[in-house]
Amino acid sequence: MNPHLAPWNISADDFPTDSYTSDQLDFLLGYAVLAPSNHNTQPWLFKINVSNVEIYADRTRAVRAIDPYDRELTLSCGAALFNLRVAAEYFGLQYRVELWPEPNDPNLTARLHLGLRGETSTEDILLFQAISQRRTNRQPFRPDPVPEAILTELADAAGREGAWLIPIQDDTARQAMAELVAEADRRQWASKAFRQELAAWMRTDPAHHADGIPAHDLGIKDWLSFAGPSLVRTFNLGKGQAAHDLDIVRHSPTLLLLGTNTDDPLAWMQAGQALESVLLHAQSEGVSVSHLNQPIEVEELRPQVAAAAGVGGCPQILLRVGYGEPVPPTPRRKAHDLLIRHPATQHAG
């Protein structure tokens, strides 16, 4: 048993119902850390106060080659916040959220205040149960299309968080998006900085790491998975990766583009919450999801993503959704190890 998978086994039965608010917040963070992040970097820290918890961006875990402005890092913090909200709602706790509450502290992304007891809805229960079941599934999906009713549900979920989500169903748009993903693969792999960064977060023995991407889970050719980080650092494998991803996109049942009307840190936090809402709603419907962010990460290609989808605004995440075989979870750091306990230890950024 991989000890770094233990955070996924959190049990709601252990919630400290009659304890202090700070103890309850400490428990709820166990769900926040199950949020997704690029390369599974888990770029967040937490500070628990008497009646609130603060989420800090941990910029020491930034991936500058693909995320130079910490856009995706901020999305990850938004996703962690959404899990925290869902867990609070499940346990019948009202809350109030402040985004970027301290203008002079660019690392403090959000503050969640717990309030009085509230009601738990059926949707609260379904989303809460989905947190510990959600996986990023990079494997091929079956050809079965995702029903329109579910796509509408996912779009509504994103809309409630201040983002938009549109399906890319037209054959011409799908082909254009597939070519953009392949072109982004070629450009990224041609960068030595990208290869070094990817290799740094690859894990050939995930039992010894609480973060990063297990090599076998990268959704790339088997020989590359086994080759390990040294090969990734040394050789430009973009041509093969582009061909693989081109085929994946062409045969994916549905592509979804999530975006916002503006492109600033506030919008990124909203997009992160929208993303996790979409992922949890998809999981509750038995729908698998993986990310195809490459053309959004390449600055010159990002406007072309919007053009191919026929939308205005700012693309944030390209998703592939469908029905796939179950995949194992990726390692997680324990929430207890991510606490800022006093000002002297606060991350400076």
Span 183-202, pLDDT tens digits: 999 999 999 999 999 989 98
Which superfamily does 148-190+236-322 belong to? NADH Oxidase (3.40.109.10)
| Residue 198 C-beta-side C-alpha neighbours within 13 Å | 27
Q: Cα dist. 284→101, 133, 235, 323 in Å?
A: 32, 9, 40, 13
Q: Which of 134, 140, 130 is nearest to 322 (CA)?
A: 140
Q: Mapping DSSP to helix (H, G, I), strand (E, B) and coil, where does residue 106 land?
A: coil
Bridging pattern class, strands 314-322 and 108-117: unpaired
Do residues 15 and 114 touch, judged by C-beta distance below 8 A?
no
Domain 3-135+338-345 class, CATH top level: alpha beta
Do residues 332 and 210 touch, judged by C-beta distance below 8 A?
yes
Over residues 40-75, the pLDDT tens digits come to 999 999 999 999 999 999 999 999 999 999 999 999
Dihedral angle sign, alpha carbons of residues 245, 64, 218, 168: negative
For the chain, state the CA radius of gyration: 19
Tell me if 3-135+338-345 shares its fold with 148-190+236-322.
yes
Cα separation of 35 and 332, whole Å?
9
Enter the pTM of the model.
Answer: 0.93
Q: Where are the domains of the chain?
A: 3-135+338-345, 148-190+236-322
Q: Could you tell me what percent of the chain has a pLDDT over 90?
A: 79
